[in-house]
Amino acid sequence: MFELVMGERRWRAAQHTGVDTIPAIVRETADHELLRDALLENLHRAQLNPLEEAAAYQQMLEDFGCTQEQLAGRIKRSRPQISNTIRLLRLPPTVQRRIAAGVLSAGHAKALLAIEDPASQERIAQRVVAEGLSVRSVEELVALGDDRDRAPRQRRQTKMVAPKVKDLADRLSDHFETRVKVELGRTKGKIIIEFATVDDLERIVALIDDQPEPAEEYRQTDIQGEVTAGSAVSA
């Protein structure tokens, strides 16, 4: 009796296209090697999510009774990669569900592992989904120690903005149809224009190319004079 271990999708694709024969390797395989080959096939599936990969590693460790170092040699993966992936199984169930659903990446999940408190892990995971935080942002939250202190700290550090500068930022936001921030110091300032994709950036650049000279009432000298006069207010 023959049993198909690897290549089921290719075999089904051949059936679908009407191909009668396909190349194959036929060999005798012990039961424990059969399990290993089946798990290896699963690990190479493109749709395997990080938790499924972690579960496969854990199953291989338990079934083969080997160390992570030995497993790494068998499946041609690095030991740290195996170790870090298995650690995902320690995350709270709510966080694991988000990983399985694809709303949290493996990078997000591994950043959360630096936190020991499950409640904090869940809280930051919720922020990742709600605010679309990047992996780098999550790492910064973790480095702060308590993510609940981040928002107040940011508000205390908010730069002062003159009323005319804020008006200009609002007008630019309306014109470019995206969020625009204008930050002005006593000697220089900067404009931050947010964009979503490269196409969005090209659209904004095209609008900038067509932008006329600024109106006289909003020239730098007037705005700078307002800041110097002490009329700047907190944003």
Are 44 and 9 spatial neighbours (Cβ–Cβ below 8 Å)? no
Tokens at 112, concatenated: 């959360």
Residue type, 17: T
Residue type, 89: L
State how far the Cα of 194 lies from the Cα of 21, in Å rounded to an integer.
55
State how far the Cα of 123 lies from the Cα of 118, in Å rounded to an integer.
9
Residue 10, CA atoms < 13 Å, CB-side half-sphere: 10
Q: Which residues of 156-174 are buried (b: 16+ CB within 10 A; e: fewer)?
A: eeeeebbebbeebbeebbe
State how far the Cα of 99 lies from the Cα of 49, in Å rounded to an integer.
8
Instruction: Count Cβ atoms within 10 A of the Cβ of residue 131 and give its class: 0-12 exposed, 13-18 middle, 19 or more buried.
Output: exposed
- Bridge partners (DSSP) of residue 190 are 183
Please list the active-site residues.
8
State how far the Cα of 82 lies from the Cα of 79, in Å rounded to an integer.
5
| Residue partners of 219: CB distance under 8 A and separation at least 6 | none
